[in-house]
Structure 1
Amino acid sequence: MTAAVRAPGTPDAIDVLRAHADHPSAFLAVNSDTRHHHGRRSPGLVAYLPGRRHVVQFAAPFAPGEARGPLLDEYLATLGGRRRLTAVQLRAQDVGLYAERGFTVNQIGSSYGIDLERFTLRGKALAKVRQNVSRARREGVTVTEAPAGSLDEQALDRIDRDWLRAKGRHVKQLTFLVGERGGPGRPLRRTFLARHRGAIVAYITYSPVWGERSGWLYDLTRRSPQAPTGTVELVNLTALNRFAEEGAGWLHLGLTPFAGLADAHEPSCASASLTRALRLVARHGSAVYPARTQEAFKLKWDPHTIEPEYAAFQDRVRPGAVWRLLRATGAL
């Protein structure tokens, strides 16, 4: 599956995001398998994965504010009456756009962000980070940023395989809502590597973030089982300090599904049955997704913002739409 062919004169997807995106995870819209509908009458684009009956959209339309509704309407018209749309990773300001069009909208998790101007490693909140970073340094872990175009892809592939194997034979690598090492976004992505005893044992990729809280997105994380405790924290702290020195505004930690679900975040157009199901998974569904572990890692960085994110289902929540969403993200 490849990105949709652009009409002559259509702006590159990255140019559209740079101009109009105001979403911490917007860069995921240029993942290799994600297709784009470029507005014919309205500027901007819709990012999506196609399906025979259920189409999955990533985030809301990336367009100027006044064009977002018309662009969404234009895209919905292309689906006809036989395909239904599910949009995922909507922000709070997007809920009304979909509710007005009859979508059922539920909170699916929370995203986290660090204001680099206010970040400090001091204080009780960051005690665990300091402890783990010190332990990794004592074990001899070093961190460097990989120069552009010089990644040892074989070494990183090996870490990916080891990471998946350590997760268990039923675990699959998530897609669509997480980044990738290659693809169209490769030239803009940054990768920080951890080495121990001369070998690469972990890496984290960071993607650019545009909009009101511009900066970087903590994206793809992989760690060998042989990496000492604190390796990932050391990698992230090294990158965070580098970004702060460069004058970046924010480091975003991304979406954690099933985390931070709360009545206060549910819109009036939410499905009560889906709310109950999501909270059941949040409490007992570690086999589906390690939400508590992911949330705990992000909270120990003492984030300055925690925001709900949503999924919107056209008309109502259909089992086929939920199944397609799980398949699209690689959860099943």
Structure 2
Amino acid sequence: MIAASTEASTGNRILQAIRAHTASENPSSFLTLNSGNSTFTAPGADGVVVYRRTGRWAVQFGGPFAAEGDYGPLLDAFRRHVRDEGLSLVGVQLQRTDAERYVRRGFTVNQVGASWAVSLAEFSLRGTKFMQLRNKISRAHRNGLTIQEADAEQVRDAIATIDTAWLGSKGGAQQLEFLVGQIGGPAQAHRRLFIGTIDGAPVAYISYSPVYGSRAGWMHDLSRRIPEGSPGLMEAINAHAIEVFRAEGVAWLHFGFTPFTGLDADHEVDGHSPAFQWLMHALWAEGAALYPAQTQLSYKQKWGPDVLIPEYVAFDGPQASLAGFAHVFRACNAF
């Protein structure tokens, strides 16, 4: 019997799948463990599909996390399940190998953005390239910033203080979900949290999620700061975390997915939608109200990323769907 579930007990199954089946090399795969996600499995198939339902759409995160021989059958079974439920299917944050497989099954697939990664083996902030970054970090420390790695439960009140101030500065915006990380829940034991204080008061934090595959390491995930705080808070915390990771022999720091960035015609796959491609470029140029892609990319580029990883959106059918794309943002609680 095919199973679709939101049970928290599926967390271990998902974790085992993303650890074991890394062929797609999805650096954001740990986000599949976010609370609120649904999972799909099929009898005899070694793997799992993770998705959220919004309205009449199923929004899938990445491709199936499955053994090579079970990838196609699991995707086909999930596709049938979605159709049997009277839903339409859109997949987001697919990697290149996922994208090519989806194209062969009749999906319309376009690049939707990119993620970025820094090799830590020889990483250094020395040199003129990072002079402005070093200045911001130094300013934060001169203003009294202290950084520590912390247990999320033990600093729960501090996190809440920062979150409340941060969301308040966004006009009371809601917490984003699905394509961004979270703090707490059963998966928290696998994350790492670095928090900054000034004169004992919490001012900023960064949560890091594990990344599996050939570029294993950590992903700079959920991050918040108090408004009107010292310049350089996030930069100083991330620089501190990098030194901790380097001392542990961690090979890669990922900066996660940013929509509308890293767009390149060479990244598109066969059968992509030219109209949707145009829309992505337009949203990069003028879509700050929907998502601050340029601001996000500016922060990531400060660290001199070594790798750009194109990511894709896939629509089940012969054309891209604006309604499907809108439901990706609905799944993220963006509106």
One fold, TM greater than 0.5?
Answer: yes
CA–CA distance in structure 2, aligned partners of residues 7 and 135 of structure 1:
45
SS of equivalent to 1:179: coil
Q: CA deviation at 1:317?
A: 2.1
2:251 counterpart (249, 252, 265)? 249
Distance 1:3 1:219 in 2: 26
Given that residues 110 and 307 in structure 1 are in contact (C-alpha distance below 8 angstroms), is that contact kept between their aligned partners in structure 2?
Answer: yes
Q: Which amino acid aligns with 2:297?
A: E
Opposite residue 137 of structure 2, the aligned amino acid is: V
- The question of 1:33 aligning with 2:36 is answered yes
C-alpha separation in 2, matches of 1:222 and 1:11: 28
Q: Deviations over 1:148-171 (max 9, x none)?
A: 3543212211211211221234x4
Show CA shifts across 1:144-198 (max 9, x none). Answer: 000x3543212211211211221234x4332100000012311111100001111
Q: How much does 1:139 deviate? A: 0.9
| Equivalence map 1:51-62=2 (5 Å) | 51-62=54-65
- Could you tell me which residue of structure 1 aligns to residue 17 of structure 2? 16
Task: Report the CA distance between 1:80 and its aligned residue.
Answer: 2.7
Partner of 2:96: 92
Distance 1:70 1:246 in 2: 39
Provide the residue aligned with 2:184 in structure 1: 182
CA separation of 1:104/1:214 partners in 2, compared to 1, >3 Å: closer, same or farther? same
Structure 1 contact 99–105 (Cα < 8 Å) conserved = yes
Q: Compute the TM-score of the two structures, normalised by the length of structure 2.
A: 0.93
Structure 1: gaps (5+ residues): none
Aligned match of 2:155 in 144, 152, 155? 152
* Counterpart contact for 1:142–1:196, Cα < 8 Å: yes
Aligned to 2:115: 111
**Distance (whole Å) between structure 2 residues aligned to residue 3 and residue 140 of structure 1:** 47
Deviations 1:277-300 (A, max 9, x none): 221111011111111110010011
Task: Show the counterpart of 1:199.
Answer: 201
Report sequence identity in percent.
Answer: 39
Determine the C-alpha separation between the residues in 1 that align with 2:130 and 2:8.
Answer: 46
Paired residue secondary structure (1:185): helix
Answer yes or no: is the 8 Å Cα contact 2:208–2:222 preserved in 1: yes
Aligned length: 328
Give the conservation status (yes or no) of the 8 Å contact 1:24–1:209: yes
Q: Is the 8 A contact 2:41 2:49 kept in 1?
A: yes
Query: Alpha carbons of 1:88 and 1:278: their partners in 2 closer, same or farther (altered >3 Å)?
Result: same
Amino acid at match of 1:129: L
Deviations 1:20-51 (A, max 9, x none): 23311100000000111123221011010024
Could you tell me how far apart the structure 1 residues matched to 2:323 and 2:125 are? 46
> RMSD of the TM alignment (CA)?
2.0
Structure-2 separation of matches of 1:6 and 1:40: 20
Cα pair distance change 1:328/1:124, threshold 3 Å: same
* Partner Cα separation in structure 1 for residue 234 and residue 216 of structure 2: 23
Letter of the structure 1 residue corresponding to residue 13 of structure 2 = D
Q: Which residue of 2 aligns with 1:329?
A: 332
The answer to whether structure 1 residue 295 and structure 2 residue 297 are counterparts is yes
1:216-295 to 2 correspondences below 5 Å: 216-295=218-297
CA distance in 2 between counterparts of 1:210 and 1:7 reads: 21
Give 5+ residue unaligned stretches, structure 2: none
Amino acid at match of 1:66: G
Distance 1:123 1:167 in 2: 35
Q: CA deviation at 1:122?
A: 1.3
Work out the CA distance in 2 between the residues paired with 1:3 and 1:297: 37
- Where has structure 1 moved over 6 Å in runs of 4 or more? none
SS for the counterpart of 1:125 is helix
